[in-house]
Chain A
Amino acid sequence: MSNLFDLLVAGLATGAIYALVAVGFTLLWQTSQTINFAQGEFVMLPAFLMLAAMHAGAPFWLAIILGILLSMLLLGLAFKMLLVDPMMRHGVLPLAIATMALAIGLKEAVKQFFSAEASPFPSIVPTGDISILGHAVSLQSIGVLAVAIVAVFGLTALLNRTSLGHQMQAAAQNPTVARIIGVPVERMILLTFLINAFLVALASLLITPIYLAKFSSGEVLGQAAFIAAIVGGFNQVRGAIAGGLLIGVLDNLAAAYVSTQYRAAVPMIFLIAVILFRPQGLLGRAEERTV
């Protein structure tokens, strides 16, 4: 039983990080129909920005702030202005392909300008264990979970409680009507890109101490976030959160109870089952279909 408890806690911690990434992913989809195939690389990059700042002599806290700001500039503003804006009106697929190319470019850039090797990354949470209900739980898991929960609650509060959030939702649901009632749709879309950049930077900060900073680490993460987003419901923020936690737990349980070789297959099979039997996702609402 203690084993199961540990697995659940570890699963929830990774799941919370997946949820952050998946939420950003669904936000981009909702406001601009961007399927960001580079989302995993978006999580990989901020850690290297922070490492670069530290190499330049900045203390850790300053490096974090710089890393987050730079991510919002590069992965938020520049991504939207340079790639998404010119391509948005041409439909989903060309833009999705362009983000695939971006993923290759980001990986190669990090490999070339930083290192092809995995680099260690300091943790914002002190290492060690604390005892909960007689179980030793790593502080790192708790810290990751806490930061992710605060971020997710902050975001849902922003979306549901503030006028700004309502404007963002209006811009996402019906841009034409939103424009008529005076919502600055363009600015709202930009805002979701900035929020996504912030979320991936945060996810990067949380996950990199666990898995090290490596140029290729985005591949697995990006896929997990996709699956989380779809399983939960592509068009719902709370769906993405639930999906992220579910996939995190599932992944950890599969590693322990299914063969390690086929561990990666479990979320995939789950994904196929969800798409076939409940395509709108576990918590999503149905989208109209052409056929």
Chain B
Amino acid sequence: MSGFAKPLKIALGLAVIAGLIVIPMNFNRYGLFILSQWAVMSIAAMGLNLTLGYAGQVSLAQGAFVGIGAYAAAIMTTHGWPLPAAIVVAIALSFAVGWVLGYPALRVQHHYLAFVTLAFSTLAFLVFRNESWLTGGIYGISNIPRPHFFGIATSKPLPFYYVCLGSLAIVSVAVWWLIRSPWGRAFMALRENPLRAQSLGIDTRRYTLMAFAIGSALGGVAGALYAPLTQYIDPVPFNLSLSLDLLMMVIVGGAGFYFGPFLGAMIAVLLPEWLRFTEGYYLMIYAVAVMGLLIWSPTGILGILDRYLAERRTKAASALRAVAKSRLETVQ
């Protein structure tokens, strides 16, 4: 993105934020629900982007962490606890489970890791479905309350949308800070060349586990918001396909790009809605669009932008070089 001038970038960012705050004000219930869902999925996808895009660890279990967070929030808030407390518990729980799930990553890599996490995903789903004393089983948990903040009830769609948007903003800032901190650099070193990272004194073991744990914790945050958003949860939304969807969001948006998850979640959540007018065909068109995009640009949408900017920079650089060369020749 460094091709743009800095003030332009800031202006663009502010315009997007203002748009996200102002435009939905006259949206209907369903529109707000979809937009809130986009915010929630963006948080989960950002977590996966940390694990996969920055630290290079393939995980097919992000959906399970969304489930863990959602059940933690649902169980606690229906028992009278406030949502912020539930979010803290959701974070702690998914962080701990994510840490443990990171251990296989120390032994196996790439596709093997993908399959361990896939198996974990299925196991988590079975627990959600079968431990009905805790999770309500296939009947799920209903009447999940939406929180009050500073005496303001957020039970209406618009205030709760702002809760989701605010959480997205907080998470975005935290992730922005994280990837620019030494930790973020260590994650990238882990992705690019684990052997060299280790020889430079980076504790690859700890950072691998951290990458998993932090990514999973963000999945937990997303889940803790998802439960009050839908106000009813059952095991079905947290099966393997959610993990696959989240992975698709990260790759389609652009893995390892900061803004990738936002775009990926937008495509996965909003594109099917925009295609609703095609009725039964919308998921088919979505699937074809994803395949087409990946054939065109395997690094996702931001990969296209990145290539375009890189090309422009090289062109500009070679133009400068040509000018310098011709000047040199005229001097001679």
Which residues of A approach B to under 8 Å, CB–CB?
35, 37, 83, 86-87, 90-98, 100-102, 104-105, 108-109, 111-112, 219, 223, 226-227, 230, 234, 261-262, 264-265, 268-269, 271-272, 275-276, 279, 289-291
- Measured in the bound complex, the distance between the Cα atoms of B129 and A100 in whole Å is 24
- A98 in complex: contacting residue of B194, B204, B255, B295, CB < 8 Å: B295
The answer to whether B112 touches A230 (Cβ under 8 A) is yes
Closest CB of chain A to B33's CB: distance in Å?
22
- Measured in the bound complex, the distance between the Cα atoms of B109 and A95 in whole Å is 17
- Measured in the bound complex, the distance between the Cα atoms of B251 and A265 in whole Å is 29
- A279 in complex: contacting residue of B112, B122, B204, B247, CB < 8 Å: B112
B316 is an interface residue with CB less than 8 A from chain A: no
Please judge, given known A-B contacts A269-B123, A276-B116, whether A100 and B107 are in contact too, CB under 8 Å. Answer: no
Interface of B is mostly: helix
The answer to whether B294 touches A98 (Cβ under 8 A) is yes
Residues from chain A with Cβ under 8 Å of B299 in the complex: 90, 94
- Measured in the bound complex, the distance between the Cα atoms of B290 and A96 in whole Å is 12
B317 is an interface residue with CB less than 8 A from chain A: no
Classify chain B: how many residues form its interface, as a range. 35 or more
- Measured in the bound complex, the distance between the Cα atoms of B291 and A97 in whole Å is 8
Closest CB of chain A to B226's CB: distance in Å?
21
Interface string of B103-127 (1 = CB under 8 A from A): 0100111111011101110110010
B85 is an interface residue with CB less than 8 A from chain A: no
Interface of A is mostly: helix
Which residue on A lies nearest to B283, using beta carbons? A108
Residues from chain B with Cβ under 8 Å of A93 in the complex: 58, 251, 255
Which residues of B approach A to under 8 Å, CB–CB?
58, 104, 107-112, 114-116, 118-120, 122-123, 126, 129-130, 194-195, 198, 204, 240, 244, 247-248, 251-252, 255, 280-281, 283-284, 286-288, 290-291, 294-295, 298-299
Top 10 closest pairs, chain A to chain B, by CB: A105-B287, A94-B298, A90-B298, A101-B290, A268-B119, A108-B283, A261-B130, A104-B287, A112-B280, A108-B284
Please judge, given known A-B contacts A35-B111, A97-B248, A105-B291, whether A112 and B122 are in contact too, CB under 8 Å. Answer: no
